[in-house]
Amino acid sequence: MNKPSEIRKKFLQFFETKGHIIIPSAPLIPENDPTVLFTTAGMHPLVPFLLGQPHPAGKRLANVQKCIRTVDIEEVGDTIHNTFFEMLGNWSFGDYFKEKSINWSWEFLTTKKWLGLDPNRIAVSCFAGDEDAPKDEDAADIWRRIGIKDDKIAFLSKDDNWWGPAGQTGPCGPDTEIFYWIDEDNPAPKKFDPIDNRWVEIWNNVFMEYNKTKAGKYEPLTQKNVDTGLGFERLVMVLNQKRSIYETELFTPLNVILQKHTKKTDIKSERIILDHTRTAIFLLSEKLTPSNLEHGYVLRKVIRRAIRRMRNLEIKDYQDLFKKLTHELINGKNFDYPYIDYYPELKTNENFIVDELVKETVRFEKVLEKGIKEFNKSAEQIKQKIKDPNKQVLSGRLAFKLYDTYGFPIEITKELADEKNIKVDIKGYQKAYQQHQELSKQATEGKFKGGLADHSEITTIYHSLTHILHSVLRKTLGSHVEQKGSNITAERLRFDFSHPGKLTLAQIDEIQTQVNRIISRDLEIIKEKMALDQALAKGALGLFADKYGDKVTVYTIQNKQTGEIYSTEICGGPHIKDSQNIGSFKIIKEESSSAGIRRIKATVILNPKRSTSVRDWGSRN
């Protein structure tokens, strides 16, 4: 048995014997690199040194880097793809180049002292050459000298045998990839066929000698570098003769827990749950919170996809399973692989990880069933209306609605559609999404035009929204929240309130969701005059009460159908009278206003089909 912790140790030891300094893993969320969302390889944090800046630890480094890659998210569920993984890597900054790099990879993989893999099961690929760089005969010759036969060397194009840059620009170069034949029942074929998935790529040696410029040109770097990446999960799999990474000790303790929660078997769902939960735990350990933006959205996506898959396995208590998996990964006695020794942030932030998983689960649970119902209904209609299975397509508009209203990442909608053999109009979805973004942007920038000629209406809507926001803030953050100021223009509302600290992204998201939930309803706003005492007894917020004399006006915003009260405030108006589906409310800024006072700026994208009637236009009682 090749223990994961032993393999890890051996790799670092090997490169120490070759004069490398071991550096710690960088965070998953890059600190100073806006060109990428996540660290997808060990070389990311090293870009300045690949470009020529001297590294304080020298010219030879190695490490184990935690990585997130989501380009292959739809492949997760097969035997080898992950969204979170660890990468073993070694680097040369203008020091050794192809000869040493390739020979060391071979030595580490095949000698008995180190990993002792069977040389007959190894094949390689090299860069085939194109207008940017020549065919990599140097690398192939090194392999030939090692003893690799020509039949086991494939020359492939830039799509396969070129690495980088990590963002749009930066260091890059041809690479040579090392494949291992994993089929234990059959000997490795004489000829290497990269298409056969029993050849699994395990190690990539990149020869970074180019810099890709903004203009798309490949310029030679001042120094020739080496950047390698050896996928840890795959290596553990190969060394333990497993057919999938999920059968390795990196996953089996988590799988034992998962199996206790379900009686159903669905390997793909099981793998997605294990992979995505691990990814979520690691992202949360860096204090990221789920949101609808960039990093936070990826986190939301993996959590929601995992939940959807739990539903497929008829698991009811998503929260409980997340809690147990987190506990096992962080504290589990069954793990040979002590993640917390390598990544102490997991332990430090354990409570945060669990809390955020629970919160996101609560949010998604609220809409999941409704969203699936809506999807099923539409799928049924499509199937009834369109008989030709090739033409059964879910519209982009509906896919966007599932995203916008029910929080379904498009991948979930695609999976649901796949299960029913329906296609999704992804282009249409992207168009609807972009239109929405554009509208938000225009509104944010105050450029919104058309359909909103009457400023009285929008400012009145903002006034009523301010009341709803106020009460949602008190419900979400606590009753210490008091209005400290408000300002409304045709483009936005501004609301100042007492609160001791910055709002988290999760809080902002929750507030936004709650306001949106309320304004999507059928609302009526009741205006009553009463004595101040009476209003206060009714629980009306009356922050400027003394302004209004003995008799005050109280506005109550309530659900027309159920009578549920969302806000009661003493106020001079004006307000809307009733409304249905106002539109989409968005917080565009949260900042400090002064000590102990926060400021929110928010906007609304009005629904063209809303029905709103306005009371007291322009009059203030």
Residues that bind ligand GLY (CB under 6 A): 41, 43, 163, 204, 206, 227, 229
**Shortest Cβ 173–ligand GLY spacing (Å):** 10
Angstrom distance (rounded) from CA 228 to CA 232: 12
Nearer to ligand GLY, 154 or 206 (CB): 206
- The gap between the terminal CA atoms of the chain, to the nearest Å, is 81
On whether the CB atoms of residues 205 and 99 are closer than 8 A, the answer is no
* Token duo for residue 52: 């020529």
**Shortest Cβ 235–ligand GLY spacing (Å):** 13
Angstrom distance (rounded) from CA 279 to CA 300: 11
Angstrom distance (rounded) from CA 613 to CA 582: 11
- Which residues partner with 495 through β-bridges? 486, 600
**Shortest Cβ 236–ligand GLY spacing (Å):** 17
**Shortest Cβ 87–ligand GLY spacing (Å):** 6
Burial 541-557 (b: 16+ CB within 10 A, else e): bbeeeeebeeebbbbbb
Nearer to ligand GLY, 42 or 290 (CB): 42
- Indicate the pairing of strand 597-606 with strand 153-156: unpaired
Closest residue to ligand GLY, judged by C-beta, is: 229
**Shortest Cβ 40–ligand GLY spacing (Å):** 7
CA-closest candidate to residue 529, choices 557, 501, 488, 571: 571
Residue with tokens 């071991």: 22
Cβ neighbour number for residue 24 with a 10 Å cutoff: 11
Phi, psi of 401 (to 5 degrees): -60, -40
CA-closest candidate to residue 102, choices 120, 86, 85, 122: 122
Nearer to ligand GLY, 174 or 229 (CB): 229
Nearer to ligand GLY, 229 or 409 (CB): 229
Residues in the chain: 621
Nearer to ligand GLY, 65 or 361 (CB): 65
**Shortest Cβ 218–ligand GLY spacing (Å):** 17
- Indicate the pairing of strand 565-570 with strand 597-606: unpaired
**Shortest Cβ 205–ligand GLY spacing (Å):** 8
- Please give the radius of gyration of the chain, using alpha carbons only, rounded to the nearest integer: 29
Nearer to ligand GLY, 225 or 466 (CB): 225
Nearer to ligand GLY, 27 or 170 (CB): 170
Nearer to ligand GLY, 30 or 583 (CB): 30
**Shortest Cβ 446–ligand GLY spacing (Å):** 44
Residue with tokens 């058309």: 450
Q: How far is CA 323 from CA 154, 331, 354, in A?
A: 46, 12, 6
**Shortest Cβ 119–ligand GLY spacing (Å):** 22
Nearer to ligand GLY, 69 or 475 (CB): 69
Nearer to ligand GLY, 227 or 590 (CB): 227
* Token duo for residue 253: 């303790």
**Shortest Cβ 142–ligand GLY spacing (Å):** 18
Angstrom distance (rounded) from CA 158 to CA 331: 43
Angstrom distance (rounded) from CA 599 to CA 594: 9
**Shortest Cβ 163–ligand GLY spacing (Å):** 5
**Shortest Cβ 117–ligand GLY spacing (Å):** 19
Nearer to ligand GLY, 204 or 291 (CB): 204
CA-closest candidate to residue 177, choices 142, 196, 153, 212: 153
On whether the CB atoms of residues 312 and 266 are closer than 8 A, the answer is yes
Residue with tokens 């090749």: 2
Nearer to ligand GLY, 95 or 355 (CB): 95
- Indicate the pairing of strand 493-498 with strand 597-606: antiparallel
